Structure 1
Amino acid sequence: MLMERGGAMKYLSLLGVILLLIGSVACSKIRAKPLVPLALESGVQPQAETLTEQGTQAYQAKQFDEAKKYFSQAVAAAPQSGPAHYNHALALHAVGDAEHARQEFMEAANLAPGDKVIWDSPALSPYGDPQSPKKNYKPTIPGTRPGVGSGPR
Structure 2
Amino acid sequence: MEPKYRTHVLMVVFSVLALVGMIACSKQKPKPLVPLTLETGAPAQAVSLTEQGIQAYHGRQFEEAKGYFTQAVAAAPQSGPAHYNYALALYSLGDAEEARKHFMEAANLAPGDKVIWDSPALHQFGNPESPKAMKEHQTTTSRPTFGGGPR
Give the structure-2-normalised TM-score. 0.73
Say yes or no: does 1:20 pair with 2:17. yes
Any unmatched runs of 5+ in structure 1? Answer: 136-153
Alignment partner, residue 75 of structure 1? 73
SS in 1 for 2:124: helix
Aligned equivalents of 1:56, 1:8: Cα separation in 2: 62
Partner SS state of residue 66, structure 2: helix
Aligned to 1:120: 118
Give the aligned residue type for 1:36: V
Give the CA deviation at 1:83.
0.4
Deviations 1:23-70 (A, max 9, x none): 224313422232221111001122222221222222223222222122
Change (3 A) 1:12 1:126: same
Query: Among residues 39, 46, 49, which one is paired with 2:47 in the alignment?
Result: 49
Aligned length: 132
Matched AA of 2:23? A
For residues 63 and 116 of structure 1, do their structure 2 counterparts lie closer, same or farther at Cα, with a shift above 3 Å needed?
same
Higher radius of gyration, 1 or 2: 1
Q: Which moved more, 1:26-35 or 1:99-108?
A: 26-35
Q: Deviations over 1:94-134 (max 9, x none)?
A: 11111211111121122112222222322112334267342
In 1: Cα distance, 2:23 partner to 2:129 partner: 34
The answer to which structure has the higher helix fraction is 2
2:67 match: secondary structure: helix
Q: Say if 1:130 and 1:65 are closer, same or farther in 2 by CA, change over 3 A.
A: farther
Aligned partner of residue 100 in structure 1, secondary structure? helix
Alignment partners' CA distance in 1, 2:12 and 2:31: 33
Letter in structure 2 aligned against 1:55: G
How many Å separate the matches in 2 of 1:108 and 1:80?
9
Q: Is the contact between residue 110 and residue 130 of structure 1 (CA under 8 Å) also seen in structure 2?
A: no
Q: Secondary structure at the match of 1:114?
A: coil
